Structure 1
Amino acid sequence: MTKRSFDQFFKNPRHWREDLVAVGGDFSVDRLLYAYTHGIFPWSEDPIRWYCLDPRAIFDIHRVHFSKTVLRKVRQKKFRISFNEAFPIVMQACSYREKDNTWITPGFIDGYLELHKKGWAHSVEVWNAENVLVGGVYGVAIGKFFAGESMFSFESDAGKIGLFHLFAKLKESNFELFDTQQLNHVTWQLGAYEIPKLSYLDRLERAIKDMVPWVIPLSHD
């Protein structure tokens, strides 16, 4: 589809008052990129529902609040941290819930895997001493904008340790905006906060001015 077609498919979030801006479509790379660069994200698969929330939850990349316990575990370096080493496995792990289903269904995984192959989606992996994946985070990076999608922990604090290293790389790369979509207890504790939709869209527009994939800085450890 062309940009004009996407303009017709999605309601313009700057003028549309509802959170739901479209229903249907697919998880193609072009559609996902259009959505994220216009403040829109998918939240279900059957049918696909596309949202632009008001208010919007974000992180200040330089003011994330990690607990003393998490920071101590980071300093101890008991976990191996990698980037983009196991993207589909991280998504599968994020989709797992012991008692309920999540919005990360097979269509999401297939679509975001293609986004990853094109360099727009990234994962952080946390491995224990036995080289077992115990935590991780994934999201979408465009220009100086990062959309955090989901996080998982199979060991205490493992996901937050991955998030700590993600924020460190984003700061190193001078990222300007981290979208976490909607506040929950975990993101609120970490320092996420809400801003009006129009303020978010203004900040997004500045962050994606140079629409290029993220080249993750190499580790200096």
Structure 2
Amino acid sequence: MEKDANNFPLFFLGDRLEFPSVSQANEDGLLAVGGDLSPERLLLAYKNGIFPWFNDDALILWWSPDPRMVLYPREIKISKSMRKVLRDGQFTLTQNTCFEKILEHCAKVERRDQDGTWITPNMKSAYLELFDRGFAKSLEVWEGDILVGGLYGIDLGHVFCGESMFSLRPNASKFAFIQLAQQLEAKKYRLIDCQIHTPHLQSLGAKEIPREEFMEALAK
């Protein structure tokens, strides 16, 4: 175990399938480095409030930020203009019909203050395997027969861990996110894990909560 520049311990994961307590993450939320992207490790991570996020395949970084950005499905905000979009039939929605294409589009999204993409080839392979096992899910937004938006994440059965979304038309990703929230509310899911704050997610009703509160909701 080594320490980072702020004197926080850094946990290096080996071959054992384990993670340290999320309480040991540093002030930025970084908890551990190393390990692998096996389906077993990824599922263990999500079930314990941890997610991978890094810019290359050289070193896997595992995070558990405090506070945590979440959306309670019943609190989804739908603006007047979005209600019109939902009614007018511009978009149609499908689920799990082209998961790999959703991954590819999300990997191309340019994000502020981010060099490159964290959806690396190894990350794509890992999530495709989780999709094959029924844990990773996607929502696809179509304008006619053209894929114009969507999102994907990990479905734990009571919490949906959102990973990424993209939009090639105005409001397409909002359309997918609102539809997801409404579906999960009907199924009585506890929350959607949005991981970190963005103005876009906040505008849709997501908010930051203490990590301890998030972990309580995550626990079945």
Both structures adopt the same fold (TM-score exceeding 0.5): yes
SS at match of 1:81: strand
Deviation, 1:177, is 1.8
Residue of structure 2 in register with 1:16 after alignment = 24
Residue of structure 1 in register with 2:195 after alignment = 181
Large movers: runs of 4+ above 2 Å:
4-7, 97-100
Residue of structure 2 in register with 1:96 after alignment = 108
Residue of structure 2 in register with 1:171 after alignment = 185
Residue of structure 2 in register with 1:113 after alignment = 128
Task: With the length of structure 2 as denominator, give the TM-score of the two structures.
Answer: 0.86
SS at match of 1:136: strand
Residue of structure 1 in register with 2:213 after alignment = 199
Deviation, 1:167, is 1.2
Residue of structure 1 in register with 2:94 after alignment = 82
Residue of structure 1 in register with 2:10 after alignment = none
| 2-structure distance, mates of 1:34, 1:195 | 22
- 1:27 alignment partner AA: L
Residue of structure 1 in register with 2:53 after alignment = 43
Number of aligned residues: 199
Residue of structure 1 in register with 2:76 after alignment = 64
* Deviation string, structure 1 residues 28-47 (Cα, Å, up to 9, x no partner): 11000000000000001431
* Deviation string, structure 1 residues 145-165 (Cα, Å, up to 9, x no partner): 111111100011111111111
| 2-structure distance, mates of 1:201, 1:149 | 18
SS at match of 2:83: helix
- Structure 2 contact 102–140 (Cα < 8 Å) conserved: yes
CA 1:88–1:63: 2 relative to 1, 3 Å: same
| 2-structure distance, mates of 1:187, 1:102 | 19
* Identical-residue share of aligned pairs (%): 38
* Deviation string, structure 1 residues 172-202 (Cα, Å, up to 9, x no partner): 2111121100011101111111111111111
Residue of structure 1 in register with 2:154 after alignment = 140
Residue of structure 2 in register with 1:212 after alignment = none
Taking only aligned residues, the RMSD between alpha carbons, in angstroms, comes to: 1.6
| 1-structure distance, mates of 2:198, 2:97 | 28
- 2:141 alignment partner AA: V
| 1-structure distance, mates of 2:89, 2:32 | 44
- 2:109 alignment partner AA: R
Deviation, 1:17, is 4.2
More displaced 10-residue stretch of structure 1: 92-101 or 24-33: 92-101
| 1-structure distance, mates of 2:45, 2:65 | 13
- Structure 2 contact 25–64 (Cα < 8 Å) conserved: no
| 2-structure distance, mates of 1:72, 1:163 | 15
| 1-structure distance, mates of 2:142, 2:75 | 26
Task: With the length of structure 1 as denominator, give the TM-score of the two structures.
Answer: 0.85
Residue of structure 1 in register with 2:17 after alignment = 6
- 1:189 alignment partner AA: S
